[in-house]
């Protein structure tokens, strides 16, 4: 006899608590193999194909395309050991998500025995939360029972907007309150506050002309969700929490460009300009480690980090993403070039994993590719600084006492003023500019 196994939305890693179903890859009645991708979801960090750890026949799917589900909510059920599947009830991969977020022991998978009812979506979510935390999850009480909401993001959104979750009825399975429900309630409350109030007319000495009520502006509403929503949340948090400052300098990049041309003419893998700038950054961070840090305000400490995980801004069709080159301080320019190329291609094709988009300690932003000279970038929270690089263009420049046309670039450094003062930031930026103008400076300090 077949056993019906429930596959829940796995923990996708890096603190993610929910994901949106983008596209189902299987239908009810389909036969699936172990580790076959069954659904494509979008998290706040990446698009992910989720593989099923069981082989069998799909008996149910939970959630339509466009639905957001919290981690631990059921995705689908699979009849294992059914004649059509050709597999036994004990077969399973052990993988929760191939490549990352894996390794959950088999004991944590729930197997539904013959004759045992499958848990509802809400109870499954609550049970998943208990299993993950190792302790019961307290829920605020309604007059008629606990509030059906699990996602910490939903609770936080309601709390930040002063919304009582006990007044809501969720649109999810069994009344589960989703983020869309909270956002709708917030919009409704805002509209009600802005609506004109009816008051009892009072006699006045003379009639007063009243302005016509403002019309609600028309336009297309674009939900802030997925990567766009994650960017909005992170940048807003950065502006709220980080007292940032920016300094900038123009530099003559002629010699750096000549050095790159010579390196690439010598044969071997091509060296990118971004890799040269990254190598300069890691050398500068070794001299000014204050800028490779993060701030722990609860402990009131600045945490200087030992490794440099270098993020770089990449614009894609789905929005701005910041892939991270791990251990950039331990890589040479050739290795940096190869890693930048690999991550850029993954960003272009939408195959970056959450682990490749998080954990950065310093960001390099080459906005010169957009044809602009300067910018004051927003720090990628919780990092402490970002180096911006404008376009490199021919400009008049005094070189060796004479006016000449040189290749000039504007460099800008935005930094968290809590980790250092302007002297440190200026020293970092000046060292970067010196290496750009005279690449031999880098060789002397290695």
* 317 plus 283 within the same structural domain: yes
What is the separation of C-alpha 31 from the centre of its chain, rounded to a whole number of angstroms? 34
Decide if 28 is inside a domain: yes
**Could you say which of 184, 332, 399, 417 is catalytic?**
417
* CATH number of the domain within which 417 lies: 3.30.559.10
* CATH number of the domain within which 30 lies: 2.40.50.100
Give CA separation, 416 vs 306, 380, 435, in Å. Answer: 18, 11, 23
d(CA 379, CA 244): 8
Task: Specify the number of domains making up the chain.
Answer: 3
* 292 plus 342 within the same structural domain: yes
Find residue 80's DSSP bridge partners. Answer: 3
* 156 plus 126 within the same structural domain: no
Residue 421 annotated among the catalytic residues of the structure: yes
Cα–Cα nearest to 440, from 255, 277, 275, 252: 255
Q: Which of 90, 107, 133 is the last residue of a domain?
A: 133
Decide if 227 is inside a domain: no
* 300 plus 273 within the same structural domain: yes
Decide if 217 is inside a domain: no
* 287 plus 404 within the same structural domain: yes
Residue 417 annotated among the catalytic residues of the structure: yes
* 127 plus 165 within the same structural domain: no
Q: Which of 89, 113, 133 is the last residue of a domain?
A: 133
Residues 438 and 258 sit within 8 Å (Cβ to Cβ): no
**What value does the CA radius of gyration of the chain take, rounded to a whole number of Å?**
28
Decide if 183 is inside a domain: yes
Q: Domain containing 151: what range?
A: 141-191
> What is the Cβ-side half-sphere exposure of residue 410, based on CA atoms within 13 angstroms?
16
**Could you say which of 90, 164, 332, 421 is catalytic?**
421
* 46 plus 85 within the same structural domain: yes
* 118 plus 11 within the same structural domain: yes
Decide if 261 is inside a domain: yes
pTM exceeds cut of 0.75 = no
* 117 plus 184 within the same structural domain: no
Residue 4: its H or E element: strand 3-8
- Mention every residue, 6+ apart, whose C-beta is less than 8 A from residue 411: 248, 249, 250, 251, 387, 388, 389, 390, 429, 432, 433, 436
Show pLDDT as tens, one digit a residue, over the chain (446 residues).
Answer: 678 999 998 877 655 678 888 899 999 999 999 889 999 888 766 778 889 988 999 999 998 888 888 888 999 999 987 554 444 444 455 444 433 333 333 333 333 344 444 333 333 333 333 333 333 333 344 444 455 655 556 776 777 787 888 788 787 766 778 777 888 888 777 665 555 554 444 555 555 556 656 666 788 888 887 777 777 888 899 999 999 999 999 999 999 999 999 999 988 899 999 999 999 999 999 999 999 999 999 999 999 999 999 999 888 877 778 999 999 999 999 999 999 999 999 988 888 888 898 899 999 999 998 899 998 889 999 999 999 999 999 999 999 999 999 999 999 999 999 999 999 999 999 999 999 999 988 876 55
Decide if 237 is inside a domain: no
Decide if 94 is inside a domain: yes
Decide if 216 is inside a domain: no
* 165 plus 128 within the same structural domain: no
């Amino acid at each position: 006899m077949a056993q019906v196994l429930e596959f829940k939305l796995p923990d996708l890693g890096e603190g993610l608590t929910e994901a949106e179903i983008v596209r189902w890859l299987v239908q009810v009645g389909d036969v699936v193999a172990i580790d076959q991708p069954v659904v494509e979801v979008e998290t706040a960090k990446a698009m992910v194909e989720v593989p099923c750890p069981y082989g069998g026949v799909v008996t149910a799917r939970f959630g339509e395309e466009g639905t957001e589900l919290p981690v631990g909510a059921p995705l689908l059920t699979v009849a294992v050991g059914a004649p059509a599947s050709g597999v036994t009830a004990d077969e399973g991969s052990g993988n929760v998500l191939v490549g990352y977020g894996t390794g959950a022991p088999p004991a944590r998978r729930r197997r539904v025995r013959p004759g045992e009812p499958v848990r509802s979506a809400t109870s499954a979510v609550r049970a998943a939360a208990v299993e993950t935390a190792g302790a019961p999850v307290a829920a605020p009480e309604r007059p008629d029972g606990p509030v059906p909401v699990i996602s910490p993001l939903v609770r936080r959104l309601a709390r930040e907007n002063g919304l009582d979750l006990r007044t809501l009825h969720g649109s999810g399975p069994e009344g589960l309150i989703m983020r869309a429900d909270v956002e709708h309630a917030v919009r409704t409350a805002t509209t009600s506050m802005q609506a004109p109030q009816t008051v009892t007319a009072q006699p006045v000495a003379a009639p007063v002309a009243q302005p016509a009520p403002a019309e609600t502006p028309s336009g297309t509403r674009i939900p802030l969700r997925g990567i766009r929503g994650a960017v909005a949340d992170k940048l807003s948090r950065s502006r709220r929490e980080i007292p940032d400052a920016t300094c900038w300098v123009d530099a003559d990049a002629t010699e750096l460009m000549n050095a790159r041309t010579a390196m690439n003419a010598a044969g071997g893998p091509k060296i990118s300009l971004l890799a040269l700038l990254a190598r300069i950054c890691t050398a500068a961070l070794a001299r000014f480690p204050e800028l490779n840090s993060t701030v722990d305000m609860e402990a009131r400490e600045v945490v200087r980090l030992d490794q440099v995980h270098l993020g770089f801004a990449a614009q894609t069709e789905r929005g701005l993403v910041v892939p991270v080159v791990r251990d950039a301080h331990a890589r040479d320019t050739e290795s940096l070039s190869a890693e930048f190329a690999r991550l850029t291609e993954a960003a272009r094709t939408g195959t970056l994993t959450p682990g490749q988009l998080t954990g950065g300690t310093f960001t390099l932003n080459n906005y010169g590719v957009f044809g602009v000279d300067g910018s004051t970038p927003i720090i990628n929270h919780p990092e402490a600084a970002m180096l911006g690089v404008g376009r490199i263009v021919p400009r008049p420049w005094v070189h060796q006492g004479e006016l000449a046309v040189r290749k000039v670039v504007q460099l800008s450094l935005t930094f968290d003023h809590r980790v250092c003062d302007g002297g440190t930031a200026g020293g970092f930026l000046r060292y970067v500019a010196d290496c750009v103008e005279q690449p031999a400076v880098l060789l002397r300090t290695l």
